[in-house]
């Protein structure tokens, strides 16, 4: 999978050299390239923004500079997926991460100031690329770089071979069961007067699975009632019977 990130602060993406994403880059699982948008500016000041039409505070990122950048980094023939992090986007979820992990080439355009001229996304769609304007949450950041880090971490870890034990991806929060993950424990069994739940020490796998499923349901109901409303309980019960 190839990922191109375009930003006026490319050093912001340095964290992508670390941990599992960094290892995926070094082993060739992820071809991640970071570009400085100012490389496509043409004036001596390497200007990338201008005042907004219609007035208003702040500056807007210029379509000509972004157009030249995306012409160079998006794949020919409209086969790419352009992601634009923005607080006005559709909320990014695990489903988006799963879909992006299946893409051959993703380009992430990190806006700054008041955002990127709307014609940039429009032109990319007209060229045949998929375009997703996505928000990592209901709050405003100073630019798209942090959101790009979040999204790349979320879909990058789903690439085959990135996470050591693929089974660890199965029971995570927001997985196929639509639940939050159950509480986890490790040694020692007793710590500062706090005991690990007895069932987890029992070796009775069916009871352990049932206990975990019940705790996941409780946690989801307490913290994310919206997810409970969307639960496929019949599928859960089937899964339960399989335990
Ligand atoms: N909420 C977001 O994803 C975002 C991106 C840029 N600013 O905010």
For residue 86, the ligand 1 atom closest to its alpha carbon is 5
Q: Going by C-beta distance under 8 Å and a sequence separation of 6 or more, which residues neighbour residue 136?
A: 85, 91, 92, 146, 147, 150, 151
Q: How far is the CA of 151 from the centre of ligand 1 (A)?
A: 11
Which CATH code for domain 2-156? 3.40.1280.10
Burial 68-83 (b: 16+ CB within 10 A, else e): bbbeebbeeeeebbbb
Nearest residue by C-alpha to atom 1 in ligand 1: 87
Which CATH code for domain 175-242? 1.10.1270.20
For residue 135, the ligand 1 atom closest to its alpha carbon is 3
137 Cβ closer than 6 Å to some ligand 1 atom = yes
Contact 74, 129 (CB under 8 A): yes
86 Cβ closer than 6 Å to some ligand 1 atom = yes
Q: Retrieve residue 44's tokens.
A: 């001596």
Q: What is the ipTM of this complex?
A: 0.97
Residue 241 — pLDDT band, cuts 50, 70, 90?
Answer: very low
Q: How far is the CA of 193 from the centre of ligand 1 (A)?
A: 43
Q: Within 10 A of 3 (CB to CB), how many other CB atoms are there? A: 25
What pLDDT sits at residue 99?
97
Cα dist. 175→21, 125, 241 in Å? 20, 30, 19
Percentage of the chain surpassing pLDDT 90? 88
The mean pLDDT value of the chain amounts to: 94
What pLDDT sits at residue 172?
85
Q: Retrieve residue 78's tokens.
A: 């409209």
144 Cβ closer than 6 Å to some ligand 1 atom = yes
Q: Retrieve residue 146's tokens.
A: 């942090």
147 Cβ closer than 6 Å to some ligand 1 atom = yes
Percentage of the chain surpassing pLDDT 70? 95
What pLDDT sits at residue 235?
63
- Over the stretch 9-47, which tens digit does the pLDDT of each residue have? 999 999 999 999 999 999 999 999 999 999 999 999 999
- Over the stretch 147-191, which tens digit does the pLDDT of each residue have? 999 999 999 999 999 998 888 887 788 988 899 999 999 999 999
136 Cβ closer than 6 Å to some ligand 1 atom = yes
Q: 2-156 and 175-242: same fold?
A: no
Beta strand spans in the chain (E): 2-7, 31-36, 49-50, 60-61, 81-91, 105-109, 130-135, 190-191, 194-195
What pLDDT sits at residue 166?
81
Length of the chain: 243
For residue 138, the ligand 1 atom closest to its alpha carbon is 1
Higher local confidence (pLDDT), 176 or 235: 176
- Report the C-alpha gap between 195 and 148 in whole angstroms: 40
What pLDDT sits at residue 243?
39
141 Cβ closer than 6 Å to some ligand 1 atom = yes
Q: How far is the CA of 92 from the centre of ligand 1 (A)?
A: 10
What pLDDT sits at residue 242?
44
Higher local confidence (pLDDT), 166 or 88: 88
Q: Where are the domains of the chain?
A: 2-156, 175-242
């Amino acid at each position: 999978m190839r990922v191109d990130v375009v930003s006026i602060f490319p050093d912001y993406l340095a964290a992508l050299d670390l941990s599992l994403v960094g290892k995926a880059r070094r082993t060739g699982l992820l071809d991640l390239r970071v570009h400085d948008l100012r490389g496509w500016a043409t004036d001596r000041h390497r200007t990338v923004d201008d005042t907004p039409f219609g007035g208003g505070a702040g500056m807007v990122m210029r379509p000509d500079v972004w157009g030249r950048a995306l012409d160079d980094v998006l794949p020919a023939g409209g086969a790419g997926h352009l992601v634009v992090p923005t607080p006005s986007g559709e909320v990014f979820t695990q489903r988006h991460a799963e879909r992006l992990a299946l893409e051959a080439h993703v380009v992430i355009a990190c806006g700054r100031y008041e955002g990127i001229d709307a014609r940039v996304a429009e032109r990319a769609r007209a060229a045949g690329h998929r375009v997703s304007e996505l928000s990592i949450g209901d709050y405003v950041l100073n630019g798209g770089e942090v959101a790009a880090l979040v999204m790349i971490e979320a879909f990058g870890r789903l690439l085959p071979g990135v996470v050591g034990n693929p089974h660890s991806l199965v029971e995570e929060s927001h997985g196929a069961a639509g639940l939050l993950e159950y509480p986890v424990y490790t040694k020692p069994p007793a710590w500062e007067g706090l005991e690990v739940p007895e069932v987890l020490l029992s070796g009775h796998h069916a009871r352990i699975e049932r206990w975990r499923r019940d705790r996941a349901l409780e946690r989801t109901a307490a913290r994310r009632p919206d997810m409970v409303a969307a639960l496929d309980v019949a599928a859960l019960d089937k899964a339960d019977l399989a335990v």
